[in-house]
Amino acid sequence: MSNISGAFEKGKAFIPFITCGDPDLETTAAVVREAVKNGADLIELGIPFSDPTAEGPVIQGANIRALAGGVTTDKIFDLVRELRTDVKIPLVFMTYANVVFSYGAEKFISTCRDIGIDGIILPDLPYEERDEFEPVCQKYGIALIPLIAPTSKNRIAMIAKAAEGFIYVVSSLGVTGERKEITTDIGSIVKVIRENTSLPCAVGFGISTPEQAKKMSALSDGAIVGSAIIKIIEKYGKDAAPYVGEYVRSMKQAM
């Protein structure tokens, strides 16, 4: 848990999302290291799933490519073991409840602890059903990171009070993907969060430009970017790492 808080201690946190195994795990490792070198404070590693309900077309495509390439949860665990030989910043998994459930929650979460994962984000896990995984996460010291959306309204305080790690503030209704403009009143959501927890919160969904990252991180403790990074990886394939590094650097500087 304390490792996650460290991501927010040096100012605004920039958090890239990377789908593991797109186009292959060697590229994922290279991209992660370039992101770290260029200022990423915490990295979300996506474990591909066949029905990623929170994702727009860009990240759906990354899931399809990774699964077609033969990626498995065990191979991703091995990737993290290898990354942890030199990557020191917090790493969290973002995946879906079925991935954890079908692997076996205790086995999945205990392995997360053993390999150096700090938290997990399950966007299809409602607050009311967190007891399915939360006790096991607490047993092994893995933060079960909640999402708060524009529709959370009178549930924001309740979710914030029970949160661990950090809070993922969903900027917009719908699925992940770049947006020209973010119109949600993020400030009012963050105000309620701050009244109920001292945990940091970071805004994701729809952020792609340095200007958006600067604006969203000014209202919160950090910015999360996925689709814009996946687009770079889709464009450059196995040569994507330096281009992702350049993008991360520009976003971090803007913040």
**DSSP track, 41-67:** SSEEEEPP-S--TT--HHHHHHHHHHH
Helix (H) or strand (E) holding 75: helix 73-83
- Rounded Cα distance between 192 and 158, Å, is 10
Indicate whether 177 pLDDT > 60: no
Average pLDDT over residues 95-111: 97
Give dist(CA 45, CA 218) in Å, integer: 25
Averaged over 28-44, what is the pLDDT? 98
pLDDT at 175 (0 to 100): 46
Instruction: Report the SS3 class of residue 147.
Output: strand
Residue pair 39/248 in contact by the 8 Å Cβ criterion: yes
Q: Give the whole-angstrom CA distance, residue 177 versus residue 222.
A: 18
Q: What's the CATH code, domain 2-254?
A: 3.20.20.70
pTM of the model: 0.93
Q: How confident is the model at residue 189 (pLDDT cuts 50, 70, 90)?
A: very high
Checking if the pLDDT of 172 tops 70, the result is no
Instruction: Select from 248, 241, 4, 245 the least CA-distant residue to 116.
Output: 4
Identify whether the C-beta of residue 162 lies closer than 8 Å to the C-beta of residue 196: no
Query: CB under 8 Å to 104, separation ≥6 — which residues?
Result: none
Average pLDDT over residues 41-58: 85
Strands 147-148 and 167-170: parallel
* Average pLDDT score over residue span 199-215: 90
Separation CA 153–CA 220 (nearest Å): 17
pLDDT mean over 2-20: 93
- Which one, of 196, 123, 122, lies nearest residue 162 by Cα? 196
pLDDT above 90: residue 195: yes
Task: Determine the pLDDT at residue 92.
Answer: 98
* Partners of 204 in beta bridges: 170
Distance CA 3, CA 75 (A): 24
Sign for the CA dihedral angle at 74, 79, 84, 85 comes to positive
Residue 53 CA neighbour count, 13 Å, CB half: 8
The two three-digit tokens of residue 190, written as one number: 């963050």
